[in-house]
Amino acid sequence: MEVNKEKYAADLSSIREAQARINSFIHRTPVMTSESLDAIAGRKLFFKCECFQKGGAFKFRGACNAIYSLDDHQAARGVVTHSSGNHAAALALAAKLRGIPAYIVIPKNAPQCKVQNVVRYGGQVIWSEATIQSREQTATKVLQETGAVLIHPYNDGRIMSGQGTISLEFLEQASQIDTIIVPISGGGLISGVALAAKSINPAIRVFAAEPKGANDAAQSKAAGRIITLPETNTVADGLRAFLGELTWPIVRDLVDDIITVDDVEIIEGMRLCYEILKVAVEPSGAIGLAAVLSDSFRNNPARKNCNQIGIILSGGNVDLQVLWNSFRK
């Protein structure tokens, strides 16, 4: 299935171009397995460890592709974005590598460890209120003042193409997988992953994993149009954004289903990653494992043929104090 570029903001060729563009900058992250977790899940699991990516999350792929897609004139003015954390740090790091300024609008409720990453990578932090409206308004103001180029966290074909390089690696490293489970928020990650995976293997199933307290994508899929929520409430701070007009058509057409899990299940998934897999993941990163272990997935007869499951551990930037507190609940 060669996905139609005219139909979507990215396709297999743009994802392969992204891979060529960013390969010398990114880590080819490992795929880990665990017989203990296979036994718990009753299926063979393959974990793509994007928590080991530069910047601690998959976001560096898209940010790197976007920044190295700019011509020299555009790049000289710098880049601006708004993000609660991982995209912010990724963009700051990619900008640092290219030697250009990065203006990062961050909501005041962002995890401290993610803010520290932005500062560590030389990004200029501009604070906003926690709402998406405040984030976007502040970013627009910075754009007007600096003339920098806006790099949206997910609603951008360059970002989606960069994230899709995960599928190119994953399907080389574990070609037997019949299912991929991907965290969903704004949809940049799952858009790229689904476009690449289904172009390479049309039979592969792609499921999204989403917190029940931020289930806008599941509601959108059910309604057949983008639904946004008045507020979100989840421990998974990286999964609080809403679908964009570029990501939604791909989620609508290529994502087979959306599995929602509650925060207790997400925290249990984190605990298993730490205790059994020995990998540090943030709540958003653990949601794929939580989805596989959820009753709704296990007891669904339509899932009985999902036997070789790829799970993307999307990131590992977690405030340790928040982690300890969540485990104590």
Widest pairwise Cα distance in the chain: 56
Which tokens sit at 69? 């897609």
The phi, psi pair for 214, rounded to 5°, reads -150, 55
Query: CA–CA separation, 310 vs 184, rounded Å?
Result: 15
- CA-CA distance, 40 to 96, in Å (whole number)? 43
Residue 84 annotated among the catalytic residues of the structure: yes
Residue 289 and residue 314 in contact, taking contact as beta carbons nearer than 8 Å: no
Distance CA 26, CA 156 (A): 19
Q: Is 122 left (phi over 0), alpha (psi -120 to 50) or beta?
A: left
Identity of the residue numbered 268: E
- Alpha-helical (H) ranges within 213-318 are 216-223, 248-254, 263-272, 283-293, 295-298
Q: How far apart are the C-alpha atoms of 78 and 149, rounded to whole Å?
A: 6
Dist. CA 287–CA 280, nearest whole Å? 13
Active-site hit among 34, 69, 83, 84? 84
- Of 48, 59, 114, 198, the active-site residue reads 59
- Tell me the residue length of the chain: 329
Question: Is 59 one of the annotated active-site residues of the chain?
Answer: yes
Distance CA 168, CA 12 (A): 9
Helical spans, DSSP H, in 99-174: 112-120, 132-146, 157-173
Render the burial of 156-180: b for 16+ CB within 10 Å, e for the rest. bbbbbbbbbbbbbbbbeebeebbbb
Active site residues: 59, 84
